[in-house]
Structures are given as C-alpha cells and as structure tokens.
C-alpha cells in the first residue's frame, strides 16, 4: 500500500488555493501602504473588495478539500482521510449554525454573536474542538487507533504512512504519522482535545464562582473586608504563575494532601453561590424555596463530594486518611493527577476574576437602580446577585472566553513540563513535549498538537472579540 500525499486526487486545488492566499496577502499589504500614497478613496475601496474576494475564494477552495475528502476519503490524501473521519463534527457544526442563525433573534447575546463575522469564526473554531473532543474522546467515533497502544514498525513514521502488518478492521494508515513510541499522532490529537475540553471550561467556571462570590461583597461593602480580600488576591498574584504550578503539582506537595485541602475549600464556592442565589431569589416564596434548596444543594453537594473524594477518602496521605463519599456513591472518577491540575488552575485564575468583579461592583453600586433597590428594602446579597451581577455580565462573559484560552495555555504548559497529568496522557502539552526531542528530524509529532492548541486559543480570542463587539452595541 502506497503512502498518502497531503491532498491526493485533489492536488489540482493546491495552486488555486496558493493563488487565492497570495491575493489576500497582497491585498492586506497594499491596504497598509495605500493610505500613505496620494490616491483616491475609490482605490482603497477596490483594494478592500479584492481582499474580500480573495478570502471568499480561499474559503471556497478549503471547502473543496473538506467536501471532497468526505466523499473520497483517503483518495483525497491525508486531508481527505481526516475530513472523512471528522464527518460527525461537520454535521454537528452545520446543525448548530443552522439552528442558531434561524433563531438568533430569540437567543439574546448568543444570537447576536451571529451578526459578527469575527465572532462566528471564533465560535466555529471553538465548537469544532468541542465536538471533536466529544465525538472522539467519549464516543470513539473519530479516532483511527488506540491512542495509547504501540504499533510495531510505526515509530516516528511520517504522515500518511501505511500501517505495518495491518489486520482486518484496522484503519490502514497513520494519518498524521507515528510518534517516538509508535503511537498514532492523529488519535492522540483527538483524545487530547477531550482532555482540554474536560478541564479548561470547568476550571474556568469554578474560578469564576470563587471570584464572583468573594469579589461582589468586597466591592459592595468595601472597608476592611475589601482590604483583606484584596490583600490575599494580590499576594497570590505576586507569585510567578509557573512557580505556583510547580509547587502545587510536585509529588512532595501532593503527598502532604495540600491540593486535596485546597479542593475542599475552592470547590465549596459553587455550592455557596448557588445556595445564596436561590435563597435571595425565592425569599418571598418559602413554600417553594425550601424544597428547591434541598434538591439543588443536595445534588450539587453530592457532585462536590464526588469530585474531591478518591476511593472513599477526601484526603489521603502516608500517615492519615479523612473519610469521604463511599465508593458506591462516587460517580465521578477524577484521578489524583487531574484533580491537582484542576485545583492549580482554579487557584491561579480566581484572584484575577476577583479583581475584575470587585472593580465592576465598585462602579455599578453607585448606579441609580442599586439605590432604588436599597430604598425598596432589598438585602445586600439580593442587590449584589440580582442587580449588580446581571449588569456586569458583558465584561464577565468576554473575560470568561479569554480565560478559557489562558487556561488552555496553562494546561499545555503543565503538560509540556510533565507536571500533573500522567506521562502517557494524550493532552497536547505532553504530546508537544514528547515530540520536541526529535523536532529537527520528525516535526509532525509536535507540530500537530501545537497547531491544535493555537487554533483553539485563536478561536476563543475571536469569540471574545465578537462578544465584546456585540455587547457594546447593546
């Protein structure tokens, strides 16, 4: 069986795509130079139209690779093979965009996102990796081989290499080649997406819960409470981020049980936040408030204990053990390494979120509608959660998207330095670190996850720009 080329039977598209990209680059360069010349505005408009036409042509040619690959598979080369394996992702993206655009006027700020080209591109990149992680990491619909298994004869093989001694039912190629342990780079890339999608958004949510729960009272009350909480936040921010990571995820610190104690404290904030939120909203309906609080806090409390418990223990060291949730009730199997990384990311991000929320609360508490709520006799927490927080949602939503990108980079940094996650983990940072040792000879093993990391962070930044643009129009 012959090795695959990158585009296979679609190689005729390559010069056309190259020409379209060249037109776009020339158009952008001329638009930068043109205003410096004594020319008419009509010339500037024509350059803009030329650049737009080049972008449209390049996009259409890229779609040829995708559509042709879906139907031709490996006949369209490596790109075609990957496009065909990603068919569930393409279908999910089409359905998501079609429904979102059809009902965008009913979807608030999310619907307005589809009025922004930048926001749509960012949303598409982010959802591409979300669906890739979901279909590849959970349902195994995309991966071509086991991401941890080693295949004889495939060590450091180039992209498109046929599988050595392939058996019936085996996918016949390593689409993105093999790494230094003869594992399929494409399958590890897909599995690594699920590791990132699991940790980054949830860790960011927890960081926001901590920052909001502490930042609102600090900004609203001020005084000694504000001074004390701001001092703690500045104390954490004064340490270099990478040094904090090193301290939290090193085996010596893990054995002391410190990350488990931190998880017990940090993960209680979502429980407190939801409890106060529901209590203030339903305070005038005691017959409804009590059962709602019991059910919601019971479920969230169970989730809280399941997250921090490991085989029936909240904290386990070499000398003692603190009992936790019984094993038969622990439905979340979060390994110690993953928990440590999760805690480290929340601990590093929470102080920054605290400072943002505190600043917004200091500004918004002076508004007239806050004074009106105080005149009505509303309680402080009701004002903070139902008057101040909703009016701070624009900047917080934008920062949330950006912070997921920062968290993704932090996870990649941890994996690159071999901290926290297991050495055989397919997360992108670990994969880049494993591939960099032979980067000069076999760059594919490191370049593929690096491009994936770049595209996800780029998508999150573009999504944040789109949300900021639409929120300013509100």
Contact 30, 47 (CB under 8 A): yes
pLDDT tens digits along 33-45: 766 666 555 656 6
Run of H or E including 53: helix 41-72
Confidence bin at 139 (pLDDT 50/70/90): confident
Q: How far apart are CA 178 and CA 189, in angstroms?
A: 11
Look at residue 344 in the predicted model and tell me its pLDDT: 85
Q: How much is the pLDDT for 451?
A: 93
pLDDT at 454: 93
Nearest-angstrom CA–CA distance, 310 and 298: 20
Higher pLDDT, 336 or 198: 198
pTM across the whole model: 0.89
CA distances to 190, 239, 252, 394 from 464, in Å? 24, 27, 38, 10
Average pLDDT over residues 325-346: 78
Percent residues over pLDDT 90 in the chain: 43
Q: What is the pLDDT of residues 174-195, one digit of tens each?
A: 999 998 888 999 999 999 999 8
- pLDDT in the model for residue 36: 67
Compute the average pLDDT of residues 418-434.
80
Q: What is the distance between the alpha carbons of residues 305 and 322, in angstroms, rounded to a whole number? A: 12
Return contacts of 332-335, CB within 8 angstroms, 24+ apart: 332/303, 332/306, 332/307, 334/307, 334/310, 335/310, 335/422
- Measured CA to CA, the distance from residue 81 to residue 150 in angstroms comes to 21
pLDDT at position 306 is 85
Q: Are 13 and 77 in contact (CB under 8 A)?
A: no
Nearest to 345 by CA among 454, 249, 450: 249
Do residues 101 and 114 touch, judged by C-beta distance below 8 A?
A: yes
Q: Is the pLDDT of residue 420 over 70?
A: no
Region 147-156: mean pLDDT is 87
Q: How does the average pLDDT of the chain come out, rounded?
A: 87
Task: Pick the more confident residue, 66 or 54.
Answer: 66
Task: State the pLDDT confidence band at 325, using cuts at 50, 70 and 90.
Answer: confident
pLDDT in tens, 379-391: 899 999 999 999 9
């Amino acid at each position: 069986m012959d090795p695959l080329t990158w585009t296979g039977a679609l190689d005729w598209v390559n010069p056309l795509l190259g020409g379209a990209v060249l037109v776009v680059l020339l158009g952008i360069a001329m638009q930068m130079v043109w205003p410096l010349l004594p020319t008419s505005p009509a010339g500037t408009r024509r350059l803009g139209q030329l650049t737009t036409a080049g972008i449209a042509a390049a996009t259409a040619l890229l779609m040829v690779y995708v559509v042709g690959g879906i139907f031709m598979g490996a006949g369209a080369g490596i790109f075609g093979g990957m496009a065909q394996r990603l068919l569930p992702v393409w279908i999910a993206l089409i359905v998501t965009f079609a429904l979102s655009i059809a009902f965008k006027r009913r979807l608030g700020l999310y619907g307005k996102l589809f009025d922004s080209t930048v926001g749509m591109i960012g949303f598409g990149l982010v959802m591409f990796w979300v669906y890739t992680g979901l279909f590849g990491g959970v349902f195994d619909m995309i991966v071509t081989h086991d991401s941890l298994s080693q295949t004889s004869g495939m060590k450091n093989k180039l992209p498109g290499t046929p599988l050595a001694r392939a058996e019936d039912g085996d996918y016949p190629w390593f689409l993105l080649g093999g790494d230094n342990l003869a594992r399929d780079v494409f399958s590890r890339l897909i599995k690594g997406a699920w590791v990132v999608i699991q940790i980054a958004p949830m860790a960011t949510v927890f960081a926001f819960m901590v920052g909001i729960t502490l930042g609102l009272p600090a900004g609203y009350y001020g005084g000694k409470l504000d001074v004390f909480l701001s001092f703690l936040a500045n104390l954490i921010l004064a340490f270099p981020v990478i040094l904090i990571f090193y301290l939290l995820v090193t085996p010596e610190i893990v054995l002391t049980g410190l990350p488990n104690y931190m998880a017990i404290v940090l993960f209680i904030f979502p429980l407190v936040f939801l409890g106060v939120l529901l209590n203030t909203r339903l305070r005038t309906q005691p017959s409804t408030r009590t059962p709602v609080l019991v059910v919601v806090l019971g479920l969230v409390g169970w989730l809280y204990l399941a997250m921090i418990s490991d085989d029936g223990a909240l904290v386990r060291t070499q000398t003692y053990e603190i009992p936790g949730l019984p094993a038969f009730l622990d439905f979340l199997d979060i390994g110690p390494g993953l928990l440590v990384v999760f805690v480290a990311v929340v601990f590093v991000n929470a102080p920054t979120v605290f400072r943002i929320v505190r600043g917004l609360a200091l500004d918004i508490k002076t508004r007239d509608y806050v004074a009106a709520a105080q005149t009505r006799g509303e309680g402080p927490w009701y004002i903070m959660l139902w008057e101040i927080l909703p009016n701070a949602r624009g900047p917080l939503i934008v920062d949330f998207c950006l912070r997921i990108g920062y968290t993704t980079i932090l996870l990649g940094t941890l994996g690159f330095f071999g901290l926290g996650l297991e050495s055989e983990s397919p997360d992108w940072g670990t994969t880049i670190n494993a591939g960099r040792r032979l980067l000069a000879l076999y760059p594919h093993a490191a370049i593929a996850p690096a491009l994936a990391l770049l595209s996800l962070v780029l998508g999150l930044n573009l999504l944040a720009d789109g949300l900021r643009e639409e929120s300013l129009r509100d």
